[in-house]
Structure 1
């Protein structure tokens, strides 16, 4: 019985390609689980398991590693129930609009397992459920940029293991040539269809961002990751790193049309938001908000349905934008 449980424990430790685990690492984890086994025993066990499961041993003679084949199914104990399978499919419908295929590819075995469970489930309610669910976006949907599979695997491993990685990155501006970096990964931030790596370089404390789709290559290093003192990902985001803050908190006052007011009545702009109906049918909106570029994009997205009153500087900025826009449209095409 102990051997069977050890086999199951080992199978759960083995990652899917392109990641892998060495026999030495597996032995350390097994010891942590209370199993007293030798490297030779683990090697013999893995060879035996390979004859029953789609496992693969790497060809690297310096350090053999084991992984599940990419096409391997998911070993679920206990099995996936229909309601959990439905939840996974709903997650898939939502995430496929946010994340690039290279990221979602890690979920494919679980989604395929969910499909198999739903196909085998009895009752028309389950089989037709996905035909009754759709996920829509209020904004213009953009195609997610492509991220290299091997790069993504290295970044994930570096974050999980607390290690540095070296990489070649293509800057946004420049000649198109890549630059080499030694990176301390601190976290990932997903914004719309773009995934950002928050990190610092070598021994520096300055926190910067890279977008994952501009990495051309990456290699995991044995050097431990260096984290700047008192770094906190949430605090970094709240500081305005991704909202591109122009100033501080501002008191916003605007006149908005009824449909915008209805929207804000259900999803408030701020906790202190106040909506007051005016004699012309519009609503007076007041709220304390961050002075960000994101706020400007959001307000401008409503077009003529929103008129900013205060702050005066923001109203003048919008008026200047409108003047420039009108000039462009008055020109002959």
Structure 2
């Protein structure tokens, strides 16, 4: 269950009144729309059924639209946010803003604003200066997440959850031209600053990756999306589809590293199988570690520049050498 679904369920629970008051299905849907959601009738019905499994929700189905209420002695209000929780939400906002598309972060806007209010109004406690004392920074240079239109995000996520086909207008990166075609969503992946819709196109069976920020228009259809039997997003990623694998083969890294890098790796190891041995004659550390055998690990090593000398794998050492040589030749 993704964060959008969780947030929609929490919001819906908050909208259901205690008996003897009640709200019908149509009213609940309109209130959800006001909160920034756009569930289909089927989605709303399914959400109410899910909530009914864990909460004392009563349904008057004597006539349509059905009426919904919570047992009169049940409190559906979430616990009041304390200072420490508010500070945690503030940190989460800082972190997620650099990780997720803004349209996704905006779905948590009410929680963030509530946290801000709690921290801002308490001028006499130790949390009052949080804006000046709290910051979440990325590990390395993070690109700004690609901007996704709110209506595109809403339609695409609903199609994915409802297993419905889409009609889209998509900007082709190779041809720099907008093309129209049908899309059958089967998954979604956020990688660095870009969110991808994993899908099949038209009547083709091969799996494609569509960058959401390049979708210029998306229309939800009534047609069921084509599916792949036993499809697993983890297995798809492990196949190397995104240049990355969750369960990738590993290799033994041996390198000579400067003390400043060793200090970092002592506190935050590159792997659970890591050894650091100081060599006083060279004033360097020998690093031995089991690491993922992929390009991302290699790029991470290259980011240290001359502070890290890779001894093995030999192919990595050669790639780093050739990369450095190309830079020198270009500078001459």
TM-score, normalising length: structure 1: 0.76
1:81 aligns with 2:81: yes
Is 1:187–1:233's contact at 8 Å kept on the other side of the alignment? yes
What is the distance in 1 between the residues matched to 2:107 and 2:254?
46
Deviations 1:241-296 (A, max 9, x none): 32357x95333221111121222222222232222222412122223333322122
Equivalent in the alignment of 2:330: 328
* 1:196 corresponding residue in structure 2: 196
Matched position secondary structure for 2:92:
helix
Distance in 2, matches of 1:30 and 1:250, equals: 49
- In the TM superposition, what is the alpha-carbon distance from 1:152 to its structure 2 partner? 0.7
Partner SS for 1:116: helix
**2:287 alignment counterpart:** 285
Q: Secondary structure at the match of 1:125?
A: coil
Equivalent residue number for residue 20 of structure 1: 38
Hey, what does 1:110 align to over in structure 2?
111
**Is the CA contact (8 Å cut-off) linking 1:27 and 1:38 kept in structure 2?**
no
Alignment of 1:163-312 (within 5 A): 163-174=164-175, 176-244=176-244, 248-278=249-279, 279-312=281-314
Q: How many residues align?
A: 296
Q: Structure 2: how far apart are the matches of 1:304 and 1:298? A: 13
Once the two structures are TM-superposed, the CA of residue 37 in structure 1 deviates from its matched residue by 4.5
| Structure 2 unaligned blocks of 5 or more | 1-17, 69-75
Q: Hey, what's the Cα distance between the residues in 1 that align with 2:153 and 2:265?
A: 38
Superposition map of 1:18-167 within 5 A: 19-21=37-39, 34-39=59-64, 77-78=77-78, 80-83=80-83, 84-121=85-122, 123-167=124-168
User: Which shows bigger deviation, 194-203 or 217-226?
Assistant: 194-203
Cα distance in structure 2, aligned partners of 1:253 and 1:28: 54
How many Å apart are 1:304 and its aligned residue?
0.2
* Cα deviation digits, residues 61-97 of structure 1 (max 9, x gap): xxxxxxxxxxxxxxx8236423443332221111112
Aligned Cα root-mean-square deviation (Å): 3.2
Residues 104-159 of structure 1: CA distance to partner in whole angstroms, max 9, x if unpaired?
Answer: 22222332233334445574223223432111223223222211111111111112
Q: Distance in 1 between matches of 2:271 and 2:123?
A: 46
Residue 19 of structure 2: aligned partner:
2
Task: Give, in whole Å, the separation in 2 of the partners of 1:193 and 1:10.
Answer: 37
Cα offset, 1:210, TM superposition: 1.6
Instruction: Structure 1 unaligned segments of length 5 or more: list them.
Output: 46-75
Q: Which moved more, 1:110-119 or 1:286-295?
A: 110-119
Provide the rounded CA distance (Å) in 2 between the counterparts of 1:196 and 1:189.
5
Deviation at 1:6, TM superposition (A): 4.2
